Amino acid sequence: MKKKTGKKVVVYGGSFDPPHRGHISLIKAALEQLSPEILYIVPSFRSPGKALPGASFRDRAAMLKAALSSAGIRDRVRVHPYEHARGKTTYTWQTLEFFRGKYPGAELYFLMGSDCLGSFHLWKKYRRILSMAGLAVGIRKGAPLKNPEETPYFLLKGIFPAAASNALRREFLFGSGTAGLAQGARERVLSRGLYFSGLRRKLAGMMSPARLRHSLGTAALAAELADKYGADAEKAALAALLHDAAREFSARRLRALAGGSGSPDLLHPSAGAVLAAGRFGVRDGEVLGAIKAHLLGKAAPGLLEKIVFVADLAERGRGFKEAGALRKKAFEDLDAAYTAAQFVKLGQAFARGRRIRPESVKIWNELLKKRG
C-alpha cells in the first residue's frame, strides 16, 4: 500500500457539453471544502447518443477555461486531455488509475452530483473506483440523495443548480440556451456556431421568415413529443428543424439533389435529407429517415418518423382548425394522432381540389387494415 503524501487531488469527469452553472458551482464547493492541491476537469472523449455531433474537445476545453476564468477559480483547476488523448471511450476507473499513477500516495477524490450517486453501483468496476478514490457528492436541486448500496461519500455543503447540458443544447435551438450556461461559455458557443446555434443561423439565410417560424414550431413540438414518448428529443428537434430545409428550392435544384424527376413538392423531403447529410453533416439514419418521411409518412413508421410527421401538421403556428385537436391527441395517443394526421392531409387535398397521391391512398389503406 502506497504511503499517503498529504496531497489532495480532485478529479471531475463528464462530457461538459456544454459546461453549465451546476458544474462550476460544484467545482467551487470542492475547492473550498476539500482544499485540494489541484482539481482536474477531465472531459470525455465524446458525448454518445446525440444526433448532432457534440462540441469538440477543443471547444469544450475552451468553454471550461472561459467559465473558470469568469468564476475566478483558474489557479488550482486544470482541464486535462487524458480521455480525449486516448481517442476512445474511457471508464472512470481508468481515469482514476491514471491520476493515481500521476500522484502516488495522494488522497484522491472523484467529484459528482447527487443525480449520479444512485446509479454509482452500476458503474464499471465501481469497487475499484472506491479503492482508489473517495466520492465527493454535491446535492443538485431536484435530485435528492439516493444511495441504495450505502456507498461511502463526502457530502459537500450546499444545494447546487440543476442545469443539464442536454437541456441547454436544446435551448440553443430556440435562441436562448443561456440561463443555465456557465458564464463565459456563451461567446464560444455563438462564435463557433455550436449546438443548434450555427444550424439555426444557416437556416435563417436559406428560408423565408415564415418557413423558419414553421420549422422552429415543428421542432419545439417534436421535442415535447419525444420527451413524452421516450424518443431522443435532440434527434426529433434536429429532424423537425431540417424537414423543410429544401422546401423553397427551385425545381431544378430539387431534382439535382433528389436525383430524380417529379413534382417539387414530392421531391423536397428526399432533397432535404440529402441536404441534411451533405451540408449539415447529419449522419443519423433515424433523423434522415424522419426528414424523408415527413410529407407522405409510411404505413409502418418508426417512432421518430411518427413524431415529426405529426409535429409538422400540428405545430402551434398552424392556422387550420384541425391542428389544435391533432396536437391534443398527439399527447394522448401518438398512433391515433398519426392516423388522424394522415386523414387530415387527405381531407385537405380533397378540399383544395388537389390530386390524391397514390402513395397516400396506399398508406391510408394499410393503416386502416392495422386498425382492423
Alpha carbon 82 to its chain centroid, in Å, reads 24
Crossing angle of helices 196-204 and 233-242, in 10° steps, is 10
Residue 309 to residue 225: CA distance in whole angstroms? 11
In a domain, 202, yes or no: no
Q: What is the CATH number of the domain that holds 131?
A: 3.40.50.620
Q: Which amino acid is at 140?
A: R
In a domain, 1, yes or no: no
Q: What is the CATH number of the domain that holds 347?
A: 1.10.3210.10
Instruction: Name the domain boundary from 159, 192, 225.
Output: 192
Pair 183, 221 in one domain: no
Give residue 328's pLDDT.
96
Average pLDDT (193-222) is: 91
Exposure class string for 99-111: b at 16+ Cβ within 10 A, else e: bbeebeebbbbbb
Q: What is the pTM of this model?
A: 0.79
Instruction: Name the domain boundary from 192, 218, 234.
Output: 192
Residue 309 to residue 260: CA distance in whole angstroms? 23
Q: Which amino acid is at 48?
A: P
pLDDT tens digits, one per residue of 17-75: 999 999 999 999 999 999 999 999 999 986 444 445 578 899 999 999 999 999 999 88
In a domain, 201, yes or no: no
Residue 295 to residue 345: CA distance in whole angstroms? 9
- Grid cell 458503474 — which residue? 123
Pair 328, 262 in one domain: yes
Give residue 372's pLDDT.
61
How many structural domains does the chain have? 2
Q: Please give the full DSSP string across 48-66, using - where no structure is assigned.
A: TT-SSPPPPHHHHHHHHHH
Give residue 355's pLDDT.
67
Pair 83, 145 in one domain: yes
Pair 185, 299 in one domain: no
Pair 57, 131 in one domain: yes
Instruction: Name the domain boundary from 165, 192, 219.
Output: 192
Q: Which amino acid is at 125?
A: K
Sheet with 134-140, edge to edge strand ranges: 77-79, 38-43, 8-14, 107-113, 134-140, 154-160
pLDDT tens digits, one per residue of 82-117: 999 999 889 999 999 999 999 999 999 999 999 999
Pair 82, 41 in one domain: yes
Q: Please give the full DSSP string across 325-366, using - where no structure is assigned.
A: HHHHHHHH-HHHHHHHHHHHHHHHHHHTTPPPPHHHHHHHHH
> Which residue blocks in the chain are alpha helix, DSSP H?
21-34, 57-71, 82-86, 92-102, 114-117, 126-132, 165-171, 186-192, 196-204, 209-229, 233-242, 251-258, 264-278, 285-293, 303-314, 322-332, 334-351, 358-371
Domain containing 141 equals: 8-192
- Grid cell 471550461 — which residue? 64
Average pLDDT (333-353) is: 83
